[in-house]
Amino acid sequence: MVNTMTKLTEEMKKAFSMMKIFPVATASKDGIPNVVPIGFCRLVDDETVWIADNFMIKSLANLEENPVVAFYIWGPDTGGCFQIKGKAEIISAGDKFEKMKEIVHTTKPGLLAKNLIEIKISNVFQCSPGLGAGQKLI
């Protein structure tokens, strides 16, 4: 994985905004995968995604061992399918954490908002079927 950040295109940001639930994949240091549906996944800017840890157990343990994350954007109205990969940082205090916690509690009172998972996007791949499947887009 490349260590530089990647900026999403307008098409990708529009598709992102249409998603309700994001399938987010992590893996342990030994490569044991885990995929979970995430409801709080926000695009902060062109290269940063926030995920709220409300119920993470295996995913959080994986991220502590291996910060690499992947998720995809796809739905009937997204106009394509994009796989996004990046490096996550677990944030448990500070301004970013407090802002995420406020957003979560405003949207869904009672959720825990235990940690902020901040992902810096490193790669985006095509995941629609066809000749371009798997092609690196950015």
pLDDT for the residue numbered 77: 86
7-56 pLDDT, tens digit each: 899 999 999 999 999 999 999 999 999 999 999 999 999 999 999 999 99
Q: Rounded distance, CA 113 to CA 55, Å?
A: 8
Backbone phi, psi, residue 29, to 5°: -65, -25
CB 91 within 8 A of CB 97: yes
Here the tokens at position 51 are 């995920």
Q: What is the pLDDT of residue 93?
A: 98
Looking at residue 4, its pLDDT comes to 55
- Contact criterion met (CB below 8 Å) for 64 and 23: no
Using the predicted structure, report yes or no on whether residue 2 has a pLDDT greater than 50: no
pLDDT given for residue 5 in this prediction: 61
**What would the pLDDT profile of 106-131 be if each residue is shown by its tens digit?**
999 989 999 999 999 999 999 988 88
Structural domains present in the chain: 10-126 (2.30.110.10)
